[in-house]
Amino acid sequence: GQNIDQPTEMTATEGAIVQINCTYQTSGFNGLFWYQQHAGEAPTFLSYNVLDGLEEKGRFSSFLSRSKGYSYLLLKELQMKDSASYLCAVMDSNYQLIWGAGTKLIIKP
Amino acid sequence: IAGITQAPTSQILAAGRRMTLRCTQDMRHNAMYWYRQDLGLGLRLIHYSNTAGTTGKGEVPDGYSVSRANTDDFPLTLASAVPSQTSVYFCASSDLAGAINEQFFGPGTRLTVL
């Protein structure tokens, strides 16, 4: 079966760095996505990885290892507005997104 | 209109009633999707459409139907609502010809079936 695993909840301090991990087992692989979702709102696209390595976009970076079925999202210089759920999703061989349950990130002052 | 709109924003519905959730996009995306999101679970695909005139079943299609008469609109119908269909419903769209094919989401419809 297809499976995406990520931690349910994480807590971090404002100004710090946090890494949110995602492991996956899917039928085929056509890229891995990270989305941010604030409470009561729609998911919004953060990053995309299809090749191994690190993609950096401002304070956010995303890493992929296809051989290990592993990705992480790295958030630097945390701000209170980063409190949200972070969703990992893999595009399978049918070009459909398989979603993890999301990681709720709580930022404390 | 900018992006994707959904209507209604929220709805309380009696079990057994028929309900259509509306979704419209103005980005000329070929693909559209309906998801439901429940606490503790990931987004689950209900139905999708890769182009106008075609639809497909996702992970949880039972009890739902869709149509795609044109590029912009993708309504989701619950023929006879049941309490287990209480959820937040998100419509999304993407450009299948795009380099990344990321999905863009509407604001969601919060549906409660009593």
pLDDT digits (tens, 9 = 90+) for A23-55: 999 989 999 999 999 999 999 999 999 999 999
> How far apart, in whole angstroms, are the C-alpha atoms of residue B96 and residue B101?
6
Chain B: nearest CA to A22, how far in angstroms? 13
Cβ–Cβ contact B34 with A under 8 A:
no
Q: Which residues of B touch A43 (CB under 8 A)?
A: 43, 90, 105
Residue B36 bridge partners (DSSP):
B44, B89
SS (H, E, C) B43-97: CEEEEEECCCCCCEECCCCCCEEECCCCCCECCEEECCCCHHHCEEEEEEEECCC
Chain B: nearest CA to A13, how far in angstroms? 24
Looking at residue B1, what is its pLDDT?
A: 54
* Tens-binned pLDDT, residue by residue, of chain B (114 aa): 579 999 999 999 999 999 999 999 999 999 999 999 998 888 999 999 999 999 999 999 999 999 999 999 999 999 999 999 999 999 999 998 777 889 999 999 999 999
Looking at residue B97, what is its pLDDT?
A: 78
Give the confidence band of A101 by pLDDT, cuts at 50, 70, 90. very high
The SS3 call for residue A78 is: coil
Q: Are strands B19-25 and A70-75 parallel, antiparallel or unpaired?
A: unpaired
- Asked if the model's pLDDT at residue A58 lies above 70, the reply is yes
Chain B: nearest CA to A82, how far in angstroms? 19
Looking at residue B24, what is its pLDDT?
A: 98
> What chain B residue is nearest to A102 in terms of C-alpha separation?
B42
Looking at residue B106, what is its pLDDT?
A: 98
Cβ of A42 within 8 Å of Cβ of B40? The answer is no
Q: Which of A93 and A106 is assigned the larger pLDDT?
A: A106
Give the confidence band of A5 by pLDDT, cuts at 50, 70, 90. very high
Q: For B105, what's the count of Cα atoms within 13 Å in the CB-facing half-sphere?
A: 23
> What chain A residue is nearest to B103 in terms of C-alpha separation?
A45
Which residue in the set A33, A44, A99 is minimally distant from B42, CB to CB? Answer: A99
Cβ–Cβ contact B3 with A under 8 A:
no
Rounded to 10 degrees, the C-alpha dihedral A88/B113/B94/A22 comes to 0
Looking at residue A1, what is its pLDDT?
A: 74
